[in-house]
């Protein structure tokens, strides 16, 4: 009986370990477009908190491995000044969980929604 329990616990531990190793897709949907580089990304992405120039931000990572950085430069009442991949940008909260932004040169667009 002890051997069966040990084997079962080992199997459960291995299963839980492999599940936790899978990436966590935090968002319901992510959309990104870079017109200069002809890049278009869509689907779920992972949001990782990051620091840029002592400012709070996110690194958005798609399953393809593509990354987009978002630096919060200033925020007030759902309006934001960002940097997207280091370029000056503006953004607005559509809802508290859905944000949309674009670089001031209008070449990069970004939107994410945390929940449906």
Tens of pLDDT along 59-114?
999 999 999 999 999 999 999 999 999 999 999 999 999 999 999 999 999 999 99
69-100 in b/e burial notation, b at 16+ Cβ within 10 A?
Answer: bbbebeeeeeebbbbbbebebebeeeeeebbe
3-state secondary structure of 96: coil
pTM (predicted TM-score): 0.77
Please report, for the chain, the start and end positions of each structural domain, with discontinuous segments joined by +.
24-113
3-state secondary structure of 95: strand
């Amino acid at each position: 009986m002890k051997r069966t329990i040990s084997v079962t616990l080992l199997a459960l531990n291995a299963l839980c370990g492999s599940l936790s190793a899978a990436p966590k897709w935090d968002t319901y949907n992510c959309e990104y477009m870079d017109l200069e580089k002809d890049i278009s990304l869509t689907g779920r992405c992972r949001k990782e908190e990051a620091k840029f120039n002592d400012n709070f931000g996110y690194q958005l990572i798609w399953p393809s491995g593509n990354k987009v950085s978002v630096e919060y430069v200033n925020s007030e009442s759902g309006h934001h000044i960002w940097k997207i991949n280091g370029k000056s940008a503006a953004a607005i909260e559509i809802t508290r969980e859905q944000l949309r932004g674009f670089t001031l040169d209008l070449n990069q667009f970004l939107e994410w929604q945390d929940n449906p």
